[in-house]
Copies of this chain bind each other. A is one copy, B any other.
């Protein structure tokens, strides 16, 4: 199993996993369980692009030069300052005979693992990119390992819409699994219910039979969510204010889902959750120690889950929700248009 996580691609330092590595071997020749992708576009992580743009004061040529240098130096697009990467779209070029991934040559796919662990070689000097956007038209090759995740892009959705769904697809799948573990009609509170992962989480909870309660940050978000039919109740509160969150929720929820990407939402989520309930943290801004010590300090008997970005079938599940719940699709399209 260890071979298939890409250890053979790690050049420096030896022994760590590709994500933790400083430098990967991006040789386009694949091993028996690898897949080679012809790259069409990189989608840089927002934090990474912001850092590069700030450093070079918006000079597109300089930003482009640095991205090329990072990829050349590290064998992957792993911003050494922010530690983040992004994802990519491309066409499957060659599939090793032992690859377990469900793709074939010619498939248009998105990688669902981070660029920080994806061997990447750029061959066109990023000539089609002006350096002024996170969306990077690119020519070159990328490698997927045996143990990886890739999504074939659906024919019926614009690629940017599918990418936006794939970006957060772990959330609804895990919410579905957790909610179905509670008997009867559990109540599910979603902090940040109007966002991408939040609206998909609400839709998943509702489909799994839950009563849903959204907490959003503003009246504008409340109005956007109202009428979508995803939340039985909607309250406006600052998710970083634990007392306000607990008051907004009222009777504590069986499951609380944190989809707000700002630090400091742990305690409100814990206070909003009933004894025996579950808190699912999807925000990357979650502090492990704030969650652990906060629950202890509140004598709160709640199960706290690190939101795993992978659940088998998560991409299809999320796309299925988008297709079947027009309100979710409308929220996503509005967000993309607003980007």
A23 CB within 8 Å of chain B? no
List of B residues within 8 angstroms of A311 by Cβ:
301
Q: A286-B288, A288-B287 are in contact. Are A17 and B294 (CB under 8 A)?
A: yes
Measured between alpha carbons, how far is A249 from B312 in the docked complex, in Å?
24
CB distance from A64 to the nearest CB of B (A): 23
Q: A286-B288, A305-B305, A308-B304 are in contact. Are A296 and B85 (CB under 8 A)?
A: no
A82 CB within 8 Å of chain B? yes
CB distance from A68 to the nearest CB of B (A): 22
8 A Cβ contacts from A71-93 to B: 82-85
Question: Contact: A310 with B306, CB < 8 Å?
Answer: no
Question: Contact: B292 with A309, CB < 8 Å?
Answer: yes
Measured between alpha carbons, how far is A305 from B288 in the docked complex, in Å?
10
CB distance from A83 to the nearest CB of B (A): 4
Closest B residue, CB atoms, query A5 = B298
A19 CB within 8 Å of chain B? yes
The total of chain A residues at the interface (CB under 8 A) is 63
Q: Looking at the complex, which of A196-204, A215-223, A226-234, A240-248 is the stretch in contact with chain B?
A: A240-248
A208 CB within 8 Å of chain B? no
A334 CB within 8 Å of chain B? no
List of B residues within 8 angstroms of A312 by Cβ:
301
List of B residues within 8 angstroms of A244 by Cβ:
15
A residues touching B (Cβ–Cβ < 8 Å)?
Answer: 1-2, 5, 7, 15-20, 82-85, 112-114, 116-117, 147-149, 170, 240-244, 246-247, 264, 266-267, 271, 281, 284, 286-312
Closest 9 CB pairs of A and B: A296-B309, A83-B289, A304-B306, A117-B297, A288-B288, A114-B293, A295-B308, A17-B267, A296-B310
11 contacts between A and B (CB under 8 A): A15-B244, A16-B264, A18-B297, A20-B242, A20-B290, A287-B288, A292-B306, A301-B310, A301-B312, A303-B305, A304-B305
